[in-house]
Amino acid sequence: MLFYWLNLIGIFFFTISGSLAARDKKHYHDYFGVFFTGFLTAIGGGTLRDMMLGAFPISWLSDRNILLSILFAFAFTLLFKTYIVKLRRTLFLFDTVGVGIYTIIGVQKSLEHGVNPFAAVILGLITAVFGGVIRDTLINEIPLIFAREIYATACIAGAVLFTTLLYAQVDTNVAATISMSTIITIRILAVKYKLALPKFDTGTSDN
């Protein structure tokens, strides 16, 4: 039940993040481009995950609430667009909350489908980042996930924490809440204090 609602909230946040990103680009200013980018950002990760798991029907084809959540997010973007776009950090925040939620949902659903824990962590990461990768590719930017490796590391840390807590018999909802908070906190701290992983340095001059 917690996961069902979290999913709808994640959908809402990712739709806004996709719509805002597209809105900022000249050639996506029309309504269709903005909304379609928001839609694909929201459903991309979960759709790829379900297609990989063979979990048919994939969620947004059978549950109308997901489409409703996307519609609410569109209405929200339209109503508050002037206000939202003034806060440059908003996009990052919406992306971060979405990524935190999707990582844990991705791990949880993968484990339910009998995937081994290591692959479940990777599927959690893919669920979380694929929508954003579609979004950033459509607007012709280097995907955010590759821009600052700490973003992906935060997901992996949260996903590993979640599987570990489940293994230690911690209640699923408690484990999910702790792990999501961890991901979101790491990402926000990373931006605030400009944390980064070491570079992949080969010691040659072309670095």
Q: Angle of helix 149-167 relative to helix 117-138, nearest 10 degrees? A: 150
d(CA 200, CA 3): 37
Which residues 169-188 are close enough to bind a copy of itself by CB under 8 A?
none
- Report, in Å, the least distance between residue 174 CB and a copy of itself: 27
Task: Give yes or no for residue 193 binding a copy of itself (CB under 8 A).
Answer: no
Considering only 1-9, 10-18, 21-29, 99-107, which stretch makes contact with a copy of itself by CB under 8 A?
A: 21-29
Task: Give yes or no for residue 113 binding a copy of itself (CB under 8 A).
Answer: yes
- Report, in Å, the least distance between residue 170 CB and a copy of itself: 24
Given candidates 54, 168, 193, 194, which one binds a copy of itself under the rule CB under 8 A? 54
Between 2 and 53, name the residue whose CB sits nearer to a copy of itself.
53
Q: Tokens 């990989």 correspond to what residue? A: 52
> Cβ neighbours of residue 54 under 8 Å, at least 6 residues apart?
113
Task: Give yes or no for residue 202 binding a copy of itself (CB under 8 A).
Answer: yes
> Cβ neighbours of residue 90 under 8 Å, at least 6 residues apart?
20, 84
Q: Tokens 């459903």 correspond to what residue? A: 43
Task: Give yes or no for residue 82 binding a copy of itself (CB under 8 A).
Answer: yes
Task: Give yes or no for residue 87 binding a copy of itself (CB under 8 A).
Answer: no
Q: What is the DSSP letter of 110?
A: H
d(CA 139, CA 161): 33
What tokens does 48 get? Answer: 């790829």
Residue among 195, 192, 204, 174 nearest 92 (CA): 192
Q: Kindly list the residues in this chain that would bind a copy of itself in the complex (CB under 8 A).
A: 23-24, 27-34, 36, 39, 47, 51-54, 56-58, 60-62, 64, 67, 81-82, 85-86, 110, 113-116, 118-119, 122-123, 138, 142, 146-147, 149, 152-153, 196-204, 206-207
